[in-house]
Amino acid sequence: MVVGDNDDLRRELIEFFHASALGGHSGVHATKQRLARSVYWKGMQAQVRNFVRSCHVCQQSKYETAASSGLLQPIEIPDRFWSVVSMDFVEGLPKSGGYTTILVVVDKLSKFAHFLALKHPYTVATISQLFLDNITKLYGMPDKIISDRDPLFLSNFWKELFRVHKTRLAHSTAYHPQSDGQTEMLNRCLETYLRCFTLEAPTTWAKWLPLAQLWYNTSHHSSLKMSPYQAWEPIRDF
């Protein structure tokens, strides 16, 4: 839809696609991509840039991050959805409804992610059950899990996962203790999203997790040239 020469309407549209829970206070490119799915006007890019750069919430919540030191191992591109997943934890959060940690699980092909809240103390059994309830019941058992957690933890996690499935550990399955730059970047994006929407009430972050997941999965991904949601379900879009 082409928007006419109406500055107030254009500003309202930019504000919605940037500052709403679905907009997620994303950067210039992601905000423009989400806006462009629905509307167009000449000079839209410049107006989006000016709006985002002057957003007070973004200025308060975002900061520059240096690139991770060390070498990241290259990760092969899987040929099936949810056959290879990465698993990581966002920790050091204020307690929110009893939750203190976020388990982040990402499909390495579509980049589709799940954000799952955890309470301390959590165990391998707790995480395995959470994984079963939210991942394997929807997508089946992955062939490979990539994580930089302790190898012993991952080994015990696999054994527990197969135990709750009442299935023997197959030789084709594997856990890979490995650093993953994409997952680390996703974690930073998730933390920034939560800061933006909980500036005045940091202990409410757990309530924002479902919206954070929707925001991330419907945001344009540079390596996909589309959103994870579009890659996973191309017949639908947000």
Distance CA 18, CA 25 (A): 5
What local confidence, expressed as pLDDT, does residue 68 receive?
Answer: 46
Distance CA 57, CA 46 (A): 20
Check if the beta carbon of residue 61 is closer than 8 Å to that of residue 199. Answer: yes
28-87 pLDDT tens trace = 999 999 999 999 999 999 999 999 999 999 999 887 654 444 444 555 789 999 998 988
For the record, the structure tokens of 116 come out as 């799952």
For the record, the structure tokens of 92 come out as 């050091």
77-131 pLDDT tens trace = 899 999 989 889 999 999 999 999 999 999 999 999 999 999 988 899 999 999 9
15-31 pLDDT tens trace = 999 999 999 999 999 99
Cβ burial 181-220 (10 Å sphere, 16+ → b, else e): ebbbebbebbbbbbbbbbeeeeeebbebbebbbbbbbbbb
Alpha carbon 38 to chain centroid distance? 23
Q: What confidence tier does 237 reach under pLDDT thresholds 50, 70, 90?
A: low
Range with the poorest average pLDDT among 43-52, 166-175, 204-213? 166-175
Q: List all residues 6 or more positions away from 3 whose beta carbon is below 8 Å from its beta carbon.
A: 9, 10, 13, 39, 40, 41
> Between β-strands 113-118 and 144-147, what pairing exists: parallel, antiparallel or unpaired?
unpaired
What local confidence, expressed as pLDDT, does residue 172 receive?
Answer: 47
For the record, the structure tokens of 19 come out as 């500052």
